[in-house]
């Protein structure tokens, strides 16, 4: 799939995604995924960071609030417009750029660190993305990114429920299917059913890679893996936000930190 097609799909998702994520319906992100990512993030105060695939900027702002000087980059104009509007209303010193993560256009060794929250599995040529990241990172700098867990969120994952309807196991398949740009259609499951019925589901081109492919792409780019994270809901969180309770069965997200030594 061409980058322009990927961009067109994300542009068509951007309005609904922004409105509903800002209204608190991206429960996995807000309750579990971003807090775990930030907990794993090394100190960034005073550092220059790039957030790749920043969307409407929610997570870019979270990192900026930790004291980093952030640049956000995304391929969808509507996301960048929303992010810039928010920056104008409540400035955090973030510069938002419309661009493609597969051809990062910054000088060599420009950033102390790079984040990519749930965006790299949406980029077609991850090898190229990782090479670009290596180029613009300063020596000693790090990349931290989150993706759908390659092992537990391959192209097919289905919840298995008990007689009471509770999720108790997951069924997975197609782990080795690395076909490009398969369109996944879904919408935030916590949006009330009546409202969901009136919305067009997101159409997301996915570029699934196995865990071993991810590791080899990272290593081939010249980065050294130093940490993995697999967020899981605590019993308390699962009770408070039942939507994320299935992360207690098997992880949905994988966090990876790698360094340019
Ligand atoms: C699942 S959303 C995550 C957005 C944001 N990081 C967050 O956590 O809320 C994936 C994002 O990746 C962006 N994206 C996809 N392909 C891209 C590319 N080639 N270059 C830059 N951004 C891209 C999409 O436009 C979208 O904003």
- Residue from 5, 55, 59 whose mutation best tests the ligand 1 pocket (most atoms within 8 A of CB): 55
Index of the ligand 1 atom closest to the CA of residue 102: 19
Closest atom of ligand 1 to 60 CA is 6
pLDDT of residue 3: 83
CB 211 within 8 A of CB 151: yes
Give me the pLDDT at residue 213, please.
98
173 forms beta bridges with 156
Cα 187 to Cα 65, 151, 191, 198: the distances in Å are 28, 22, 8, 11
Contacts of 19 (CB under 8 A, 6+ apart): none
| 105-136 tens-digit pLDDT | 999 999 999 999 999 999 999 999 999 999 99
Three-state secondary structure readout of the chain:
CCHHHHHHHHHHHHHHHHHHHHCCCCHHHHHHHHHHHHHHCCCCCCCEEEEECCCCCHHHHHHHCCCCEEEEEECCHHHHHHHHHHHHHCCCCCEEEECCHHHCCCCCCCEEEEEEECCHHHCCCHHHHHHHHHHHEEEEEEEEEEEECCCCCCCEEEEEECCCCCEEEEEEECCCCCCCCEEEEECCCCCCHHHHCCCCCEEEEECCCCHHHHHHHHHHCCCEEEEEECCCCCHHHHHHCHHHHHHHCCCCEEEEEEECC
Ligand 1 interacting residues, C-beta cut-off 6 A: 3, 6, 10, 29, 53-55, 58-59, 73-76, 79, 100-102, 117-119, 122-123
For the chain, list residues with pLDDT below 50. Answer: none
Residues in the chain: 261
Q: From CA 187, how far away is CA 218, in angstroms rounded?
A: 30
User: In CATH, which of 3.30.70.2520, 3.40.50.2300, 3.40.50.150, 3.30.700.30 is domain 3-259?
Assistant: 3.40.50.150
Q: What are phi and psi of 215, to 5 degrees?
A: -60, -45
Q: pLDDT per residue over 15-55, tens digit each?
A: 999 999 999 999 999 999 999 999 999 999 999 999 999 99
pLDDT for 143 equals: 98
Residue with the smallest CA separation from ligand 1 atom 9 is: 55
C-alpha of residue 75 to centroid of ligand 1, in Å: 7
* pLDDT of the residue at 1: 84
Instruction: Check residue 2 and give its pLDDT.
Output: 83
Q: Is the dihedral of CA 9, 15, 190, 63 positive or negative?
A: positive
């Amino acid at each position: 799939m061409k980058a322009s097609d990927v961009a067109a799909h994300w542009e068509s998702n951007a309005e609904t995604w922004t409105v509903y994520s800002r209204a608190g319906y991206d429960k996995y992100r807000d309750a579990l995924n971003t807090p775990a990512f930030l907990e794993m993030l090394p100190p960034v105060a005073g550092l220059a960071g790039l957030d790749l695939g920043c969307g409407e900027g929610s997570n870019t702002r979270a990192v900026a609030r930790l004291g980093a000087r952030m640049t956000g980059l995304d391929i969808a104009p509507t996301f960048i417009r929303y992010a810039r509007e928010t920056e104008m209303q409540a400035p955090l010193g973030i510069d938002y750029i419309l661009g493609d993560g597969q051809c990062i256009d910054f000088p060599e060794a420009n950033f102390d660190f790079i984040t990519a929250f749930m965006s790299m599995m949406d980029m077609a040529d991850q090898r190229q993305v990782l090479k670009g990241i290596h180029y613009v990172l300063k020596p000693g700098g790090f990349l931290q990114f989150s993706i759908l867990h390659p092992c537990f969120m391959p192209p097919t994952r289905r919840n298995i429920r008990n007689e009471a309807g509770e999720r108790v196991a997951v069924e997975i398949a197609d782990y080795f299917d690395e076909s490009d740009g398969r369109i996944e259609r879904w919408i935030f499951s916590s949006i009330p059913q009546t409202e969901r019925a009136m919305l067009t589901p997101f159409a997301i081109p996915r570029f699934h890679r196995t865990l071993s492919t991810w590791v080899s792409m990272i290593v081939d780019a010249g980065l050294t893996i130093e940490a993995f994270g697999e967020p899981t809901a605590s019993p308390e969180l699962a009770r408070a936000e039942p939507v994320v309770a299935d992360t207690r069965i098997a992880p949905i997200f994988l966090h990876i930190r790698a360094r340019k030594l």
